[in-house]
Structure 1
Amino acid sequence: MKSYADTPAESDVNARMVLGICVAMGFTTLLDQAIFALAIPRLRDGLHASASQLQLIISIYSVAFGVALVPAGRLGDIIGRRLLFLIGLAMFAGFSVLGGLAGSAQVVIAARLLQGLGAGIINTQVLGLIQDLFQGESRAKALGRYASAGGLSGAVGPLLGGLVLGWAPPDLGWRLLFLINVPFGAVVFFLALRHLPRRRPQPGRFSLDTGGLALLSFTTLALMSATLTGDGGLLSARTCLAAAMAGVLLFACWEVHYQRRGGTPILARGLVRSPGYMLGTAVAMFQFAAGLTLGIVSTLFFLDGLRIGPLLFAGLSVSSALGMLASSTRSWRFVRRFGRAGVATVIAVYAILVVVEGVAIVVLPASAILLAYPAIGLLQGLASGLIHAPNQVMTLAEAGEGAGRGLAAGFLQLSQRLACSIGMSWGAGIFLTTVTRGAGLAAYRSAFVDALALVLALSVGALLAALADTLRRQFAMRAGNTQYADPDTTIALSGATLGANVDG
């Protein structure tokens, strides 16, 4: 096992090994996300899960992932990344076994929650290890390779999931999609145990905003509870919304109080005072939620409404992942040339494509929908690749003075994760309450359009935030602020942002 004290040649070899471990782990955790949506119909049938239970199964992973990011990142800085990486990996693989052997929907919900915590712990250590071991251009290349794992998993995952579900008996297929994480996890755990560098605990005061994290989690869960259908919620939707509003106010007050006491809050005052950062965060929250909500609703429509097999749907969906991967690799050129105005334009194009997909679902016969969907998905993927990374580059470049960019990136990831969990729960709830098992295609078309209205509203929210930031930048340039006229300022953080972008 190597350490940071190796010779330069040994350190270089070990750094490449560590990067390989990080890329493999990124691929494994993102593969789980890419294939799990395909298992939802089979899981529902096998465990007789209710609509509200399915909503939680779909969304609880993202909540747990987001909640783990901030404390895991801080703990990694203090006690070392190797230990937390191994703990997170053991959780992710171990609770995959729990999910695969589950006998009830409640156990699956618990397994997805604990898997999400493990994946969130791993994610922060991976990015931290890359930051520790690589500098300059080497760091940007390492982050690019890690990001490529996300694109590869998005393309390979659905096909692998479709093959497993198509080959295995119905009640076994979804279990295998849980258990497939175990051999990957075991191999990576052995390699990590042997090759990840040890690091002595860092002295100094450990500041963790547990109060802010708890209030933010409470607010998210309250909003999710308001979306649960049937008898899934213990309280009424109105009560949950009131609790969420109270949670937002308490979170704002607590953050001010905590920073005055000398702590490091989740949302630092410098970030709040940066309109560019706050607007960019809003773009990320709305657009990520729109994309993932559209993905889960499309999966339910094609598998339940059109009653096509998982493998065929996986093949139809690959074009979107490939489109996003292709445009992401050129997104730095796009942001350098067109800036925030270009991102706003592409968001508008994405919203139009959402409408086009809705029209195609309603108007076209089933056979024509199967032909149109890959083409529409390809265009949506191309648009997404030109939105996410450029938006995050510009958002992190706007981090307020006194607020570190590591803290800014952490809150950006956290906020978009929580937004995605709410959007997916809400979208799935709209779809599942509109149709009943055995309903005709017309009912599924109607349910899809109802859920698509939410996706379109989220895209419009992202567009409004992007337009507001575009106008702000234009006014600043007219007032003589040359920061926004220099394209190198905008793309300076592209390497770091690429690493922060892969989990969405």
Structure 2
Amino acid sequence: MSEHAASLELDELDSHHARPVLGICVAMGFTTLLDQTIFGMALPRLRDSLHASPGQLQWIVAIYSIAFGIALVPAGRLGDLIGRRRLFLIGLSMFSGFSLVGGLAQNAPVVIVARLLQGVGAGMINTQVLGLIQDLFRGSSQARALGRYASAGGLAGLAGPVLGGLILALTPDDLGWRLMFLVNVPFGVVIFYLVWRHLPRRRSSGERFSLDAVGLLLLSAVTLFSMLATLADADARVPARTYLVAALAGAWLFVLWERRYQRRGGSPILGAGLTGSPGYVLGTLVAMFQFAGGTTFGMVATLFFLDGLKTGPLWFALLSIAPAVGMMVSSARSWRFGSRFGRAGVVVAIAAYMATLVLLGIGVLWLPVAGIGLLYPLLGLVLGALGGLIHAPNQAMTLAEAGAGEGRGTAAGFFQLSQRLASSVGMSWGVGLFAGAAGAHSGLLAWRHAFAEALVLVLGLLSAALVAALSDGIRRRRVIDTSTPSASRV
């Protein structure tokens, strides 16, 4: 099949919607990710302008991710039930409207509320984006569309630090951080018009789903407590272990409720099409551990350069361009990689990613500071490219394994939620390990060893991703062997 023919491998009912909708999806993915990469740079000026306390600043940072995670599965479920177009418009209105509220805020509590509702809107949007891509594209075209969506993350990582630095450098102190909010508003108005015009109005599925409101509430509580457990420090009023116990108890109640709800004839959130699909479960585990390892490494590298090597923020942003470029370019072409090599390609890419990290760790331990500064962008380019070859193909293969009758938005919501929870836990663990190792000694040697110790954790997480990918590859091989007649194998 030619590339042109593959790009037309769409649902015939929606083929005229596909190209503009993909553009909308990529644009919104870029915008919501850019908001996260750019906003952290504005925090010092926001703190000084609004006289925010350390506690308020912590909530401003954390509340967006918490709200984003909580919104994913409920929004995916509702998108399956009432249609993606409606949920997309609601989420976009919230994201853009509360960007305006945050940009005009006169005190920190208003910013906290604005970031909370921005996060809810962003979570609603991102779940519908993945659902729309699954609805409108099939086969290699779906993998290609997911690759383009993933490349938006690399572009956001590339543009965020540069754009944020320029805005802050060219504006007065009280205006720069406000523009980080307000830049979303005109963009949101344009996208709202395009969504209203191009997104299909029909429901994505003829299936009728029961809402399972109790299950959604329990799952939201589990998500909230899990994320709070990663944010609570030693001096917090509620210790992390209390949140963790609450999350585990909520998970137990959620499983009990889902079983009871299914026995009564309802459509549970965790339907058999998800929990009973080995491909979906194993692919989600790959995403969890790979994403946790990647984001933990990114956070540890940032702390090592900024605190350990005393690299300035702008200089570190320049060093980080190479990984973002690698991710952006490889994600856009990863559909070819996934179509040709399948799960085996993902296995090789994860193994190569781990080997590259080992090389970086050796360099950090033994090279002079100037050598580390040269090595990081070179190997970072490779890491970014390998990450793009892992993320988008795995996502395409995993979502394709959701069982028949399961809502695509629900499957996408669980997939994204698992990544965010694993990322939060991994980063909390990694930062704690890195800070503890660095604080136990003094001098550059301590920072080097702290980086190496944190890298062991990252490699452990990636090893779990590798095992899950290998298991799925073996399963797929067995399925092919058992479905191929013995005569044709001879």
- Name the structure 1 match of 2:247: 244
Match of 1:288 among 291, 314, 320: 291
Asked if 1:26 is matched to 2:29, the reply is: yes
Deviation of residue 287 (structure 1)? 0.8
In 1: Cα distance, 2:191 partner to 2:60 partner: 26
Q: Is the 8 A contact 2:80 2:410 kept in 1?
A: no
- Name the structure 2 match of 1:75: 78
Deviations 1:346-391 (A, max 9, x none): 2122223333334434443333322221112111111111211222
Higher mean C-alpha displacement, 274-283 vs 90-99: 90-99
| Matched-pair identity in % | 64
Shift of the 266–431 alpha-carbon distance from structure 1 to 2, 3 Å rule, reads farther
- Name the structure 2 match of 1:461: 464
- Name the structure 1 match of 2:392: 389
Match of 2:327 among 324, 328, 338: 324
- Name the structure 2 match of 1:271: 274
Match of 1:368 among 345, 366, 371: 371
Shift of the 156–430 alpha-carbon distance from structure 1 to 2, 3 Å rule, reads same
Q: Is the 8 A contact 1:344 1:467 kept in 2?
A: yes
- Name the structure 2 match of 1:4: none
Higher mean C-alpha displacement, 57-66 vs 114-123: 57-66
TM-score of the superposed pair, with normalisation by structure 1: 0.77
Match of 1:85 among 88, 94, 115: 88
Asked if 1:227 is matched to 2:234, the reply is: no
Q: Is the 8 A contact 2:140 2:339 kept in 1?
A: no
In 2: Cα distance, 1:168 partner to 1:428 partner: 33
Match of 2:99 among 93, 96, 99: 96
Deviation of residue 92 (structure 1)? 1.2
Q: Is the 8 A contact 1:61 1:112 kept in 2?
A: yes
Q: Is the 8 A contact 1:102 1:108 kept in 2?
A: yes
Q: Is the 8 A contact 1:35 1:158 kept in 2?
A: yes
Shift of the 220–442 alpha-carbon distance from structure 1 to 2, 3 Å rule, reads farther
Q: Is the 8 A contact 1:58 1:425 kept in 2?
A: no
Shift of the 195–467 alpha-carbon distance from structure 1 to 2, 3 Å rule, reads closer
Asked if 1:154 is matched to 2:194, the reply is: no
- In structure 1, the gaps of 5 or more residues are 1-10, 487-504
1:61 partner amino acid: Y
1:275 partner amino acid: P
In 1: Cα distance, 2:204 partner to 2:464 partner: 43
What's the C-alpha RMSD, in Å, of the aligned pairs?
Answer: 4.0
Deviation of residue 88 (structure 1)? 1.5
Deviation of residue 293 (structure 1)? 2.5
In 2: Cα distance, 1:455 partner to 1:103 partner: 41
Q: Is the 8 A contact 1:266 1:411 kept in 2?
A: no
**Residues 346-425 of structure 1: pairs in structure 2 closer than 5 A:** 346-400=349-403, 403=406, 407-425=410-428
Shift of the 181–435 alpha-carbon distance from structure 1 to 2, 3 Å rule, reads farther
Find the residue that maps to 1:387 and give its secondary structure: helix
Q: Is the 8 A contact 1:165 1:310 kept in 2?
A: no
In 2: Cα distance, 1:28 partner to 1:228 partner: 25
In 2: Cα distance, 1:170 partner to 1:444 partner: 33
Higher mean C-alpha displacement, 160-169 vs 262-271: 160-169
Find the residue that maps to 1:386 and give its secondary structure: helix
- Name the structure 2 match of 1:470: 473
Q: Is the 8 A contact 1:434 1:443 kept in 2?
A: yes
Q: Is the 8 A contact 1:229 1:429 kept in 2?
A: no
Deviation of residue 105 (structure 1)? 6.3
In 1: Cα distance, 2:316 partner to 2:240 partner: 34
Q: Is the 8 A contact 1:228 1:429 kept in 2?
A: no
In 2: Cα distance, 1:393 partner to 1:386 partner: 11
Deviation of residue 39 (structure 1)? 4.5
Find the residue that maps to 1:263 and give its secondary structure: coil
Shift of the 364–465 alpha-carbon distance from structure 1 to 2, 3 Å rule, reads same
Find the residue that maps to 1:325 and give its secondary structure: helix
In 1: Cα distance, 2:347 partner to 2:206 partner: 45
Shift of the 199–81 alpha-carbon distance from structure 1 to 2, 3 Å rule, reads same
Higher mean C-alpha displacement, 466-475 vs 126-135: 126-135
Deviations 1:264-306 (A, max 9, x none): 2222123222223212111111111222222233334334444
In 2: Cα distance, 1:404 partner to 1:297 partner: 37
Match of 1:254 among 237, 254, 257: 257
Q: Is the 8 A contact 1:162 1:310 kept in 2?
A: no
- Name the structure 2 match of 1:491: none
Deviation of residue 431 (structure 1)? 5.0
Q: Is the 8 A contact 1:55 1:425 kept in 2?
A: no
2:30 partner amino acid: F
Deviations 1:183-238 (A, max 9, x none): 32233335545665656999995522333333333333333333335455433333
Deviation of residue 165 (structure 1)? 3.8
Higher mean C-alpha displacement, 275-284 vs 395-404: 395-404
- Name the structure 1 match of 2:121: 118
Q: Is the 8 A contact 2:289 2:422 kept in 1?
A: yes
2:215 partner amino acid: G
Higher mean C-alpha displacement, 253-262 vs 91-100: 91-100
- Name the structure 1 match of 2:64: 61
In 1: Cα distance, 2:140 partner to 2:472 partner: 30
In 2: Cα distance, 1:166 partner to 1:207 partner: 52
1:411 partner amino acid: F
In 2: Cα distance, 1:90 partner to 1:328 partner: 29
Deviation of residue 119 (structure 1)? 0.9
Deviation of residue 473 (structure 1)? 4.1
1:289 partner amino acid: A
Asked if 1:163 is matched to 2:157, the reply is: no
